[in-house]
Amino acid sequence: MGISTGDILGHAQVGVYLSVVGDVLFYPTSLDKPAVDELASAFEKMEMYPCLIGGSALLGSLVRGNSKGLAVADIATESDLDELSSFGDLVVLESGVNAAGNLLSCNEHGAIVSPVIPGPGAEMIGEVLKVDAVRSKIAGQETVGSLTVANNHGILAHPDISAEEAEKVAAVMQVPVMVGTVCFGSPYVGAGCVASDSHALVGSGSTGPELNRIEDALGLI
């Protein structure tokens, strides 16, 4: 099955706590075994890796990347970085820009970087992920990672994304863009959904039409 619903640590914002990077699903060490087993069953072909970033369980907000590399918040400790380096090259977002997952949307083809991140930072992200990285807002907002969920088949975006923004995102990430919501009407699709190329976990309370839209957008049917 390509899509499922649930909560992580009692919250529907599953994309805040989980991060899919390439073929790895990063999840908080505080998840209990039944929850981990459920995730492993849903994302059956992925490596499951428990961790914290700077002691925080908000992994989806703090780390983002693809099979080539990862962008991580500057609250990561040296020990965290040592762990993460085994999964690819790293770029640490410094100068107080610590919500790496909220400020970046990417797949294996391209990356959309928040304008909050300076130009040299965006270039470095592109070098580490080995993709073109372009700075853009989504729906006029800067938290591009919270406003989109992407895989290598497609992108689900905030309903208010402009035609110009959608065109730029589709060109950079080389997949089609569709709009939708999660969790009974939330436009923050990146916060309420986490997806691989074969499965998406969506926060509880999401409706049938929302789930159908997500399946369509991310090519999970």
Q: Strand (E) positions, 87-219?
A: 89-93, 104-106, 110-113, 132-135, 148-150, 155-157, 177-179, 193-195, 200-203
Angle of CA points 84, 104, 81, to nearest 5°: 15
Handedness of CA 167, 2, 59, 26 (dihedral sign): negative
Q: How far apart are CA 143 and CA 154, in angstroms?
A: 19
CB atoms within 10 A of CB 188: 23
Each residue's pLDDT expressed in tens, for the chain with a length of 221 residues? 699 999 999 999 999 999 999 999 999 999 999 999 999 999 998 999 999 999 999 999 999 999 999 999 999 999 999 999 999 999 999 866 668 999 999 999 999 999 999 889 999 999 999 999 999 999 999 999 999 999 999 999 999 999 999 999 999 999 999 999 999 999 999 999 999 999 999 999 999 999 999 999 999 98
What is the helix (H) or strand (E) element at residue 63, kind and residue range?
strand 63-65
Domain 3-217 is in which class? Answer: alpha beta
What is the token pair recorded at 164?
A: 């110009």
CB atoms within 10 A of CB 66: 23
